[in-house]
Amino acid sequence: MWRKKQKALVVTALLLFLLLVVLLSGRNGKGKAEIYERADILMGTSFHGTVYGGKRDVLPELAKELRSLETERLSWREETSEIAKINFLDGKEPYENISAELSGYLTDILDIADRSGGALDPTIGNISRLWDFGGANERLPEQEEIDKFLEKTGYEKLQVSENSIFIPKGVSLDLGAVGKGIGADRAADFIKKQDGIEGAVIALGGSIALIGSKPDRSPWNLAIADPRGKEGEILGLLKLSGEQFVSTSGDYEKYFEVDQKRYHHILNPKTGYPAESGLISVTVVCESGLKSDGLSTACFVLGLERGMELLKEYGAEGVLVDEEKNVYITEGLKSLFDLKDASYKIVK
Amino acid sequence: MKEKWALIGVSIFLCLVFAGSLLFLISMGRDKGTEDGYAYIYQDGILVKTVSLEKEEVFLIEGNHGAYNKIQVKDGSIGVTEASCPDFLCGQMGYISKGPIPITCLPNRLVIEVGNGRETEDLDGVVY
């Protein structure tokens, strides 16, 4: 009798021990997979990565990957990058043997530039540098300075073929308006190649990649910052599934004031001055980081009506806010958006 | 009688092991840079310090080649009061208490994040 009970006790103890081992190996008390997090400065902006599951922490490798994207392809500041090399030629000759990767990005950017009538323009670099929003030399430039560079601005001046690109003298390429979105695309591709990762959220400044799903399969829960709120306040929440990218452009992130007038960092390529379209915040959700980032800028510049049309053309979704605090939501997001600030009004 | 005491002894032992493990697991789950009321300071992508926003303090985060950021916690918020970086943009970002925009110092590769409501609101991110 005693032996039987002894056996039962040992078996129970072993079973409980095994259960503990299972719980300890990759599961925490909330029933979630192991979580890896990293905050960093990458591609000239803040980076935050959260990865659920996987065999090891891959975020340090992702950080390296994004650094190489910046130094080898995108940054006009890094003399090793293709963009810097193209700018350096300054109209002397075409840049040959452009990488397929950069050529692909430029094709997508020029498509948005074309369809938005130049509301997104990768040749606005010289004018952006005059304003230097968020930089050490931030200032209100003289009209003459802007006019001088406006002559050298215009995406239609670029000649891009499959293997080469030619930019005329004085024209400067700057992919800043889509760089974070491209980084989000690259991050999503990298995460998807790793073993055992259930889901991840990668944020580069105002652009976010949602990959896979959370361990409990609930939708990703994203907040949109309140464009006129105090620090930390939110406009509303979006519940989204994975394999989507979200970017926001707003007039509140980087700005300065002169004589009580606000000068924000989203420039209208036609005027060289901050866009005054009546919109104060545009959030775009779609299947590509580059497109969500580029479209949020283009829609901000275009304004409500033309912005909505552009989103429709791309099959993208969005939440647009005007200066009267009216919130306009595309059809596909209406049931997924939850307004949290009563000072705003959803326009049906 | 002996059997009864052995059974009780083993049961108590197992309960203690379980309770200890659960506490350990819950504490692991919290240390993920998401809890409200805390600030998380990253240098070169590594979490170097976690501070409560309820306790006022001033401390230095030092980097390579004499780089430093002097950080202050006051009134439930956190900010940079002094730094070795040439532009001091990190200091101009003021104090943060809830996010969503972190304080960043590009030259010193420093990021200061706060809980961001991710615990209370179950947020996965904020677009801004």
In a domain, residue A8? The reply is: no
DSSP per residue, A194-242: STTEEEEEEEETTEEEEEE--TT-PPEEEEEEPTTSPTT-EEEEEEE-S
Q: Is the pLDDT at A291 greater than 80, yes or no?
A: yes
CA distance B93 to chain A (A): 10
Give the nearest chain B residue to A284 (CA atoms). Answer: B127
Average pLDDT over residues B36-56: 93
- ipTM of the prediction: 0.82
Structure pTM? 0.84
Is A334 domain-assigned? Answer: yes
- Scanning every residue of chain B, which has its alpha carbon at the shortest distance from the alpha carbon of A203? B125
- Chain A contact for B48, CB < 8 A? no
Total domain count for chain A?
A: 1
Any domain includes A250: yes
pLDDT higher than threshold 80 for residue A317: yes
Q: Is the pLDDT of residue A21 over 70?
A: no
Min Cα separation A270/chain B (Å): 25
Q: List all residues of chain B from 79 to 108 with a beta carbon under 8 Å from chain A.
A: 86-87, 89, 94, 96-102, 104-106
Percent of residues in chain A assigned helix, strand, coil, to nearest 5:
35, 25, 35
Contact call for residues B71 and B80 (beta carbons, < 8 A): yes
- Inter-chain residue contact B21 with A20, CB threshold 8 Å: yes
The one-letter code for the residue type at A117 is G
**How far is Cα B72 from Cα B65, in angstroms, rounded to an integer?**
22
CB-based contact (8 Å) between A326 and chain B? no
Q: Which of A24, A48, A220 sits opposite B21 (nearest CB)?
A: A24
Question: Which of A9, A41, A214 is facing B104, going by the closest CB pair?
Answer: A41
Closest CB to B14: pick one of A16, A40, A60. A16
Give the whole-angstrom CA distance, residue A13 versus residue A44. Answer: 54
Lowest mean pLDDT among A72-81, A187-196, A217-226, A327-336: A72-81
Q: What percent of chain B has pLDDT over 70?
A: 67
Residue B104, min C-alpha distance to chain A (Å): 7
| CA dihedral (A315, A319, A323, A324) positive or negative | positive
Q: Chain B partners of A9 at a C-beta cutoff of 8 Å? A: 6-7, 10
Of B22, B123, B124, the CB nearest to A29: B22
Can you give the pLDDT at residue B120? 52
Between CA A297 and CA A279 the distance in angstroms is 11
> Does the pLDDT of residue A284 top 60, yes or no?
yes
Domain annotation covers residue A90: yes
pLDDT confidence band for A246 (50 / 70 / 90): very high
Query: Which percentage of chain A shows pLDDT scores above 70?
Result: 91
Q: Are residues A221 and B101, on separate chains, in Cβ contact within 8 Å? A: no
pLDDT at A22 over 90: no
In a domain, A30, yes or no: no
Q: How far is it, in rounded angstroms, from Cα B77 to Cα B79?
A: 7
Which is more confidently placed, A83 or B8? A83
Is the pLDDT confidence value at B22 over 60?
A: no
Q: Which of A223, A228, A225, A206 is nearest to A325 (CA)?
A: A228
Tell me if B3 sits within 8 A of B10, measured CB to CB.
no
**Residue in chain B nearest A24 by alpha carbon:** B25
Q: Is the pLDDT of residue A26 over 50?
A: no
User: Using 50, 70 and 90 to split pLDDT, how confident is the model at A297?
Assistant: very high
A211: phi > 0 → left, psi -120 to 50 → alpha, else beta; which?
beta
Query: Six-digit token pair at A207?
Result: 């652009």
Give whichever of A308-317, B36-45, B56-65 has the largest mean pLDDT: A308-317
Tell me: the pLDDT tens digits for A41-95? 999 899 999 999 999 999 999 999 999 999 999 998 889 999 999 999 999 999 9
Do B45 and A253 lie within an 8 Å CB cutoff?
no
A:B CB pairs within 8 Å: 146
Both tokens of A270, joined, read 């036609």
The beta-strand segments (E) located in A8-155 are: 35-42, 45-53
| pLDDT range class, residue A187, cuts 50, 70, 90 | very high
Q: What mean pLDDT do residues A25-36 have?
A: 61
A44 touches chain B (CB under 8 A): yes
Distance from CA of A9 to the nearest CA of B (A): 7
Among A183-192, A228-237, B23-32, the minimum mean pLDDT is found in B23-32
Ranking A47-61, A252-266, A320-334 by mean pLDDT, the lowest is A252-266
Test the B interface: residue of A37, A64, A230 with most B CBs within 10 Å: A37
Tell me, yes or no, if A13 comes closer than 8 A to chain B by beta carbon.
Answer: yes
Residue pair A280/A327 in contact by the 8 Å Cβ criterion: no
Residue A101 predicted with pLDDT over 70? yes
* A35: nearest CB among B6, B26, B32: B32
Contact (Cβ atoms closer than 8 angstroms) between residue A61 and residue B119: no
Residue A11 lies in a domain: no
For residue A19, tell me if it sits in a domain. Answer: no
Distance to chain B for A162, nearest Cα, Å: 34
- pLDDT number for residue A28: 46
Chain A hits for B42, Cβ within 8 Å: 38-40
Amino acid at A313: E
- Whether residue A18 lies inside any domain: the answer is no
A158 pLDDT exceeds 90?
Answer: yes
- Residues of the domain holding A277: 52-347
Considering only CB atoms, B45 lies closest to which of A38, A50, A253, namely: A38
Tens digit of pLDDT for each residue in A231-245? 778 999 999 999 999
In b/e form, how buried is each residue of A187-210, taking b as 16+ CB within 10 angstroms? bbebbeebeebbbbbbbbbbbbbb
Kindly report which listed range (A16-25, A66-75, A123-132, A229-238) carries the lowest average pLDDT score: A16-25
Output the domain CATH number for residue A133.
Answer: 3.10.520.10
- pLDDT class of B26 with cuts at 50, 70, 90: very low
Q: What is the mean pLDDT of chain A?
A: 91
| Pairwise pLDDT comparison (A129 vs A306), residue with the higher score | A306
Q: How far apart are CA A169 and CA A148, in angstroms?
A: 13
Interface test with B, best of A1, A24, A46 (most B CBs within 10 A): A46
Among the partner-chain residues B2, B86, B128, the one whose CB lies closest to the CB of A250 is: B128
The confidence score (pLDDT) of residue B67 equals 93
CB contact under 8 A, A234 and B45: no
Highest mean pLDDT among A19-23, A112-116, B91-95, B114-118: A112-116
State residue A30's pLDDT score: 45
More confident residue, A55 or A202: A202
- A 186-205 residues with CB < 8 A to B: 201, 203
